[in-house]
């Protein structure tokens, strides 16, 4: 682990637990802070799957990143989660099924549902580094743009990329670089580059990242 990315404090009962989904884990996800990020660069314990999703969705803070991971897990495990929509535990207990088919369902499908449900409803523990708590009370996960309220910045990115036919990953990366307060700018850059090649987009991202660093110095 790099010295620039201190690992957040891990409560005793959360050892080897993914900060995002509370599944057992052995890996860490490093979050690099930008100039606007409301917290320093940091590392959180993460399972492999959440790490992969988080790396693609850093957005504008570790908390926004968590929302995006949760949304993505819900999308990936929609079928598993639907099992719980179709059956309640009580219904299952009271149902007349008693054959092997049902035993199989209880052992596999119901178990998959419980795992998926646990992961998407996991609440990450509050972040502190070396005993100093990061204050997230002032931080608004919700995002307002052009008179519309979004439950998260990830939802706004989703909405705009669908509505305007933009490259979602590109818009997301732009927002990560410039911050949520320059969302309009990120959308404009995406619209300008709507038919740009991957190489051009990479160059644009690089140029804007360099500009942002110039702003700090």
Chain residues binding Zn ion by CB under 5 A are 18, 20-21, 23, 47, 50
CB of 178 to Zn ion, least distance (A): 28
Nearest approach in angstroms of CB 24 to Zn ion is 9
Q: Least distance in Å: CB of 49 to Zn ion?
A: 6
Cβ burial, residue 134 (10 Å; 0-12/13-18/19+): middle
Residue 27 sits at φ, ψ, to 5 deg, of -110, 175
d(CA 58, CA 73): 15
Smallest separation, CB 208 to Zn ion (Å): 30
Of 49 and 179, the one with the shorter C-beta distance to Zn ion is: 49
Of residues 44 and 174, the one with the C-beta less far from Zn ion: 44
For 30-35, the CB contacts below 8 A with 24+ separation are 30/1, 30/2, 30/5, 31/5, 31/58, 31/62, 31/65, 32/5, 32/58, 34/60, 34/176, 34/177, 34/179, 34/212, 35/179, 35/212, 35/213, 35/215, 35/216
CB of 76 to Zn ion, least distance (A): 12
Closest to Zn ion by CB, 49 vs 143, is 49
Contact, 179 vs 36, CB < 8 A? Answer: yes
**Which residue, 124 or 179, is less far from Zn ion as judged by CB?**
124
Select 24 or 40, whichever has its Cβ closest to Zn ion.
24
- Find the shortest distance in angstroms from Cβ 18 to Zn ion: 3
Give the distance, in angstroms, between the CA of residue 198 and the centroid of all CA atoms in the same chain: 23
Closest CB to Zn ion among residues 117, 182: 117
- For residue 105, give the nearest of 119, 118, 91 by alpha carbon: 91
């Amino acid at each position: 682990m790099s010295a620039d990315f201190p690992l957040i404090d891990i409560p005793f009962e959360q050892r080897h637990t993914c900060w995002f989904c509370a599944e057992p884990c052995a890996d860490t996800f490093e979050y690099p802070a930008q100039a606007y990020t409301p917290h320093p660069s940091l590392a959180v314990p993460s399972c492999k799957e959440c790490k992969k999703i988080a790396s693609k969705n850093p957005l504008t803070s570790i908390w926004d990143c968590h929302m995006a991971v949760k949304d993505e897990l819900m999308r990936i495990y929609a079928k598993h989660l639907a099992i719980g929509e179709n059956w309640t535990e009580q219904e299952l207990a009271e149902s007349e099924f008693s054959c092997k088919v049902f035993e199989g369902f209880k052992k596999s499908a119901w178990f998959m549902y419980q795992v998926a449900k646990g992961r998407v409803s996991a609440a990450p523990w509050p972040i502190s580094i070396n005993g100093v708590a990061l204050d997230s009370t002032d931080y608004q996960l919700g995002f307002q743009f052009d008179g519309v309220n979004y439950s998260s910045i990830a939802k706004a990115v989703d909405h705009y990329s669908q509505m305007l036919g933009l490259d979602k990953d590109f818009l997301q990366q732009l927002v990560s670089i410039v911050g949520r307060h320059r969302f309009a700018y990120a959308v404009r850059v995406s619209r300008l580059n709507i038919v740009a090649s991957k190489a051009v987009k990479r160059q644009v991202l690089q140029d804007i990242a360099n500009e942002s660093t110039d702003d700090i110095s």
